Amino acid sequence: MTDTTAPSNPATASTPAAAPADRLDSRSRQALVLLLAAVFVVFLNETTMSVAIPTIIDDLKITAASGQWLTTAFALTLAVVIPVTGWLLQRISTRSAFILALSLFVAGTLIAATAPVFGVLVAGRVVQASGTAIMMPLMMTTVLTIVPMHLRGRIMGRISIVMSVAPAVGPAVSGVLLQAFGNQWRGLFWVMLPIAVVMLIIGILRVPNVSETRAVPLDALSVVLSAVGFSGFVYGLSSIGAAAEGGAAVSPVIPLAIGVVVLALFALRQFALQKRDAAFLDLRTFRSRTFTISVIMLAIGMLSLFGMVILLPIYLQYALGLTTTTIGLMLLPGPLLSGLLGPFIGRVYDRVGPRPLVIPGAVLLSASLWMFALGLGVSTPIWYIVLANVLLGLGLGGLFTPLFSSGLGSLAPHLYSHGSALVSTLQQVAGAAGTAIFVALLAVGMAGAGETDVTTASPEQIVAGVHLAFLGGALTTLALVAVSFLVRKPADTGTAVHGGH
């Protein structure tokens, strides 16, 4: 495996006699602003559930393992739909993809807001996720298409603001709204609905078409194998928590095994299709050493983040007895600081490359998880928890911008949509894995202390489960630190990962 890079985009490359432009043209800036705003909305929605889950558990009389489906069903849907975007974004225009994504998101929000039972609420989240699945790869592919290499760190830094601030604001907004609505979780969706509708209307009127479409055949067998493989794998992961509580309908080993086997068949199918440049999800992206390492690190980071997002609110509410507003505000500083540092990190990346950023980022992320693993108890001071969360946000801030920039920037232009789809898919699978594994370890740790139901467990029993879960996450981050030394920045010129296109 050799490290490779993509040639400059003809639409944005400078002539040898001209200095590289320091800013994008107005049409490209308009597209990016609208896409960033839409991604902010869908990311905000994804994390509002973290603080609301304990309230929903109490209101709908469900278990913690069932409650996690509000996040894992979302992640499962993303894992199934996102691979299709590698094909979809080559077939339809930028504006059409934007309208499709926001229309699905609006429909899902309305379903969730009016859901009479838990099953319908999950269905609404699934429809929301279908729109979110299109939006993130659309933004990344658009950036890679219109932003020249020398500006990508700066633009990715701005994207990191959205990726960090929206998840940070989500729990805080959720806590405040829950308090304002008397712990009525439906209010979260009713507030989100008009915001999404306004974004859809603006998109219909103002989003320009900045990408070129081409007739790419859709391989039906690949779609089926992808859907079955990813959904089976994520379902198996999500069943681990229920199995730990003794409530799983089927052993997680069965769907996990089916998922692995079918994904292997999916990979073999893509290898065959790649020979005639007709792959549904082109796996030649992994010929880039930088892309492969970046994906591995992003996956570990997402596993840690999603595990923390679902576990920490449970600990804060049931072990420390804090209100939803307090919990939301406590989760705010770390990701918010990470987002505000995004542009600075992007400029540093453009000057010195990824390694001076990702190594300390990985160390800070690992330190945060170890603080959670070793320091949480029934009387842990709030400042300690906030400090650990700040370190987590700073660590992720040092990882996301350099990894996205170097990983996707190492690909040839015709592989951008496939690379974006692969990164987004594997991030969501890792997120589902983090949620499932942390909840399962929580249940195992609590069971060892004599209880599996968080609503009836004592603070000491909650702490026992939280300790085991965060210890597992902390051990995982050691691999992140080790791999961080292998990251490289793609060169501005050179041989790209080509695939016969």
Establish if 4 belongs to a structural domain: no
**Beta-strand runs (E) in 223-349:** none
Nearest to 429 by CA among 227, 168, 237, 167: 237
Is residue 361 within 8 A of residue 399, CB to CB? The reply is yes
Establish if 320 belongs to a structural domain: yes
Number of domains in the chain: 1
Is residue 51 within 8 A of residue 175, CB to CB? The reply is yes
Give the pLDDT of the chain (501 residues) as one tens digit per residue: 444 444 444 444 444 444 455 677 777 777 788 888 888 888 788 777 767 887 888 877 787 767 777 877 887 787 788 888 878 887 888 888 899 999 999 999 999 989 888 889 999 999 999 998 888 888 887 887 778 777 777 777 777 777 667 766 776 777 778 877 777 788 888 988 998 999 899 888 888 777 677 777 788 899 899 889 988 887 787 677 666 655 566 778 898 999 999 999 999 999 998 888 778 888 999 998 889 999 999 888 888 887 887 888 889 988 998 887 788 778 778 777 877 787 788 888 888 889 999 999 999 999 999 999 999 999 899 999 999 999 988 898 888 888 888 888 888 887 887 888 888 788 777 877 887 788 888 888 888 888 777 778 888 999 999 999 999 989 989 999 999 998 887 765 333 344 433
Please enumerate in sequence order all residues whose Cβ is within 8 A of that of 439, keeping only pairs 6 or more positions apart, or say none: 64, 65, 68, 240, 241, 244, 310, 311, 469
Please enumerate in sequence order all residues whose Cβ is within 8 A of that of 19, keeping only pairs 6 or more positions apart, or say none: none
Establish if 143 belongs to a structural domain: yes
Establish if 491 belongs to a structural domain: no
Nearest to 88 by CA among 77, 78, 76, 96: 96
Establish if 137 belongs to a structural domain: yes
Domain harbouring 448, CATH code: 1.20.1250.20
Establish if 501 belongs to a structural domain: no
Establish if 20 belongs to a structural domain: no
* DSSP symbol at 332: S
Q: Cα(109)–Cα(500) distance, rounded to whole angstroms? A: 42
Establish if 16 belongs to a structural domain: no
Query: How much is the pTM?
Result: 0.73
Range of the domain at 76: 26-484
